[in-house]
Amino acid sequence: MTWPDFSRIVLIGSIFYSRHRIVEDHSRGIFDREKAEELINRQEELSDSFGIEGILDVVAETEEAIARYLDFVVDITEKPFILDGYLEARLGGLRYVEDHGIADRVIYNSINPLNTGDELESIRRAGIKNAVVFDYDPSYTSPSRRILLLSGDGRKEGLIHRASRLGIANIMIDVVPTDIRSLGEVLETLMLVKSAYPYPAGCGPANVSYYMADYLKEELDTKVLVSSVDSVAQLFSDFIFYGPVERAEIAFQSAYIVEEVKEGLSMKMHEFIGERYD
C-alpha cells in the first residue's frame, strides 16, 4: 500500500454508513452500485483537482454487508481505504482481508480502549499493518489525559504500545471531538500529540457538525456549518474524517483554502507546535 501523504491534509469520506440513502439493505449490504461509483469517482476527481488526497471510510453493520462493500471498493479504487463499522462487521472484514490477502490495502479503524480479545487476535491474524488509534475514553477527555491514553498510565496499556504489539507499523491518531466545546480540547490535544509522537494525527469534525445541526436546526446553514467546523479542525490536523462522502465538494473546497493559508505562514505548524510545547 502507498501510505497517504500527510504533508498536506488527507480527507476521509464515509460510504455505506447507517442510513446512507444509496444502501437499500444495511444487513445484507445491498446498495446502488452506480450511485456508489459516482460518489467515489467524484471524490477522486476533487482530489486530483485540488491536489488534496482523499480516501474512503467503508462503514458496515454486518459481516455479510462488509463482504459486499469490500468486493466493490477493492475493484473500484486502487487507493487504500479504512475498514470501519460495527464490531460484527469489522470482524467479518478482518476475515475477508485474511482470506483475500489485501491487508496492504486496509487501514483498520480502530485500536481503542474497548477492543475485545477476539478483535485483537483477528487483527493480528489478518496481518493488519495500518490502523487508526482512537484516542478517546469518557474518563480521559482532557488533553493531558488523552496523552496518557496513548502512552499508558500504569493501570491501562497505552494504545500506541497495543498497536505495536499487534505488529502495526503505520498509525493514524484520531483525537475524537464529541461536540462543539470539545473541539477546543481536541485542538490542544492535537498539538500535544504532534509534539510527542511522529505519527499523523487528526480528528472527525463530522461529529461536531451533527451535534450542531441538531442543536441549532434552523439557525445555521449546513454548508456554512460544515465548512466552518472542518476549517477549524484542519488547522492542526494531518487528516480529517469529514463525514458522508456526499459532502466531498464542501470538504475539498474548504480544505484547499485552509491549506493555502497554512502555506503562507512564515512559521510552519510543526515549528509552532515544537516551540509551544518544548
Residue 197 burial by Cβ neighbours in a 10 Å radius (0-12, 13-18, 19+): middle
User: What pTM was estimated for this model as a whole?
Assistant: 0.93
pLDDT in tens, 181-221: 888 999 999 999 999 999 999 999 987 766 665 555 566 67
CB atoms within 10 A of CB 11: 28
d(CA 237, CA 10): 9
Regarding the domain with residue range 10-277, which homologous superfamily does it belong to in the CATH classification? Dihydropteroate synthase-like (3.20.20.20)
pLDDT band at 265 (very low <50, low <70, confident <90, very high): confident
pLDDT band at 252 (very low <50, low <70, confident <90, very high): very high
The larger pLDDT score, comparing residue 214 to residue 80, is at 80
| In the chain, where the domains are located | 10-277
pLDDT in tens, 142-155: 999 999 999 998 88
* C-alpha cell recorded at residue 92: 467479518
Question: pLDDT at residue 88 above 80?
Answer: yes
d(CA 32, CA 49): 26
Length of the chain counted residue by residue: 278
Q: How far apart are the first and last CA of the chain?
A: 34
